[in-house]
Amino acid sequence: MTALVLALLAGVGVWFFVSRSGDSAEAATCDSSRFPLRIAASPEVAPILKKAAAAFDAGTASSVNGACATTTVTAVAPDAFGDTLGAALQARGGAQAPTAWVPESGLWRRVLARRPELSAALPRANPVVAVSPTVVAAPRPMAEALGWPQHEPSWSELLGLAQDAKGWGARGHSEWGPLHLAWQDPLHSPSSLAATASIYDTTVQDQTSVDDVRRDLLSAQSAITSLGTDPSKAFAPLRDGAMTTAEALRQTPLMPWTEREVMAFNRTSPRVPLVALYPSDGVAPAEVPVITLNVPWVTDQQRAALDRFADFLVKGDAANQFAAKGWRTPRLVADPDESLGALADEPHYTPPTPEADRVATVLQAWSALDRQGSVFVVLDISGSMNEKVPSAGNATRLDLAKQAITSSLPLFSDRTSVALWTFSRKDQGTDYTSVSDFGPLSRAVGGTTARQALQQSVNGLTADGATGLYDTVIAAADAARTHWRPGNNTIILISDGKNEDEGSASLDAVLAKVKPLADPQRPVRILSIALGDQADAASLGKISAATSGELYVARDVDDLDRVFLSALTD
């Protein structure tokens, strides 16, 4: 256990406090003067810190040069603390400005450090007073089917099984149905954020391309059954005495959680307990740091006292309190209780906690991919799309566009709504044709799924005619508003030319038509891809800007796959 905790600490690159400033606590005294320590703490740890603060203030442990601290601990959620710190920085301090922050996971520091105005105030190196490994919570029978406790699955194994049509049948338990993976919102759950970063690390590894991150996370997300999941609801079937075990397991997902949360759940004596799976390729743990803010209003005296408080938390009764709640502590107060689903000698590998830049990349990609709404692709199939691209082995522009669309289809989950129109100028009828209607990719279409039907239709597209751009955009705007769904609604407009329909509406008329798409109550963004040097990037840019969208320019046509993926995940 000692080696394991040291490994956890080495993995996250943190250090523990050793008394180093001022006179020793044993020889310290308190005169009549006091100075404040104002600590903001996550609700999960605030009760322990409040009790410790009372004991800290009662003696001389906080003494610095004869004066002692008066410590207040306020429970505050991480995002709210970010707002509090931002306001304090604008005001340059104030009577209630915080001096330190203790989140339940150091990942929250990385999340807030994405905000430029907060980054410098949140130092990287901080004393850690408790840690809980990030795990995958799994009902015990399912964990045993995966080889627990002798075998710990990798992320690729779990994601692969979730995408296997046989589901649990691949492990001899077809009665459990498919393997469901559930995720909490990584923006609000350090466990899911750590798991998401781990999947990124194990799939992308040394690559830093945002496009690689997007593609790998999109692939991973397609294996996840539900996003923004509430754990109390996800694991409720395990407590339901009216269900058979098989019924309960069919309805229960596997989900990233912390080891302490698994143990807390099992303390409620569910009918089917959870166990903690420790992915073999590792997940950054949830460590509890004491972050002394790097701000002008925190004095050297307060910094020294906060160092003493961190030491007090490690060596005092607070360590017992943390251990009682399931955290592992540097004092090794107790091994995690294996009867509650933990394994004391796991995890064998703990990766470093990702820094703010990597967290920012992962969250940006994940937030974009977590779309509840629709993707509406509007593709130019005018004759110029037959032009060959020498750098792409003489594939045509249309070939590359088709490849970009079809290569993205397997990455979408069944719940994603995808529609496709094509357009070129026609002498009779409309310039646009509906290839695939709005609706989830899992819906039945002509004896197959919409996903498979769309794949076949895209493969059969041919190019001919002139570019009937403007009338198509107007009609697409109407269709997008008609089929608007709560969530992210996006039109991806791909064209290699300019409008060549002399009888069509003007650009001003198009802009007037699409401007209402920027309605904040029912927004639809147009993301335009100008394909090649002959595309009317100026007009496409104006169309996108009118809807608060973006213009992507693929000067090198063989770069379309990357540009399309960027637009798709914007």
DSSP 8-state class, residue 286: E
pLDDT tens across 171-200, in order?
999 999 999 998 888 878 889 888 888 877
Task: Measure the CA–CA gap between 139 and 532, rounded to whole angstroms.
Answer: 53
What is the set of domains in the chain, with CATH numbers?
13-131+287-333 (3.40.190.10), 134-277 (3.40.190), 371-568 (3.40.50.410)
**Cis status, amide bond into 153, omega within 30 of 0:** no
Count, in order, helices (H) and strands (E) of the chain.
21, 19
What's the one-letter identity of residue 368? Answer: A
Contact present, 275 and 148 (Cβ < 8 Å): yes
The helix, strand and coil proportions of the chain, stated in percent and rounded to the nearest 5, come to 45, 20, 40
DSSP 8-state class, residue 185: -
pLDDT of residue 26: 45
Contact present, 516 and 400 (Cβ < 8 Å): no
Using alpha carbons, select from 502, 497, 568, 491 the residue that is nearest to residue 538.
Answer: 497
Q: Residue by residue, what is the 3-state secondary structure of 16-34?
A: CCCCCCCCCHHHCCCCCCE
Q: What is the dihedral of CA 214, 219, 224, 225, to 10 degrees?
A: 110
- Is the CA virtual torsion 323, 327, 333, 337 positive or negative? positive
Q: Which helix (H) or strand (E) holds 139?
A: strand 134-139
What's the one-letter identity of residue 96? Answer: Q
pLDDT of residue 485: 85
pLDDT of residue 189: 87
Task: Measure the CA–CA gap between 316 and 310, rounded to whole angstroms.
Answer: 10
Which residues fall within 8 angstroms of residue 512, CB to CB, at 6 or more apart?
none
pLDDT of residue 104: 94
Strands 444-445 and 448-449 turn out to be: antiparallel
Contact present, 435 and 474 (Cβ < 8 Å): no
Q: For the chain, how big is the Rg over CA atoms in Å?
A: 28
Q: Residue by residue, what is the 3-state secondary structure of 472-494?
A: HHHHHHHHHHHCCCCCCEEEEEE
**Cis status, amide bond into 149, omega within 30 of 0:** yes
pLDDT of residue 212: 61
**Residue 206, exposed/middle/buried by CB under 10 A (0-12, 13-18, 19+)?**
exposed
Write down the residue that tokens 């710990």 correspond to: 152
**Alpha helices, H only, 409-533:** 450-459, 469-482, 507-514
Length of the chain in terms of residues written: 570
Angle (CA) 175-176-180 rounded to 5° is 155
Task: Measure the CA–CA gap between 385 and 558, rounded to whole angstroms.
Answer: 13
Write down the residue that tokens 């403007």 correspond to: 470
Ramachandran sector of residue 30 (left: φ over 0; alpha: ψ -120 to 50; beta: rest): beta
What is the token pair recorded at 62?
Answer: 């906080």
pLDDT of residue 217: 62
Task: Measure the CA–CA gap between 260 and 335, rounded to whole angstroms.
Answer: 12
Low pLDDT (below 70) residues in the chain: 1-29, 31-32, 202-222, 225-227, 331-334, 349-352, 361, 364-372, 410-413, 427-428, 555-559, 562-563, 565-570
pLDDT of residue 204: 58
- The SS3 assignment for 547 reads coil
Contact present, 290 and 102 (Cβ < 8 Å): yes
pLDDT of residue 221: 66
**Residue 274, exposed/middle/buried by CB under 10 A (0-12, 13-18, 19+)?**
buried
Write down the residue that tokens 């994601």 correspond to: 159
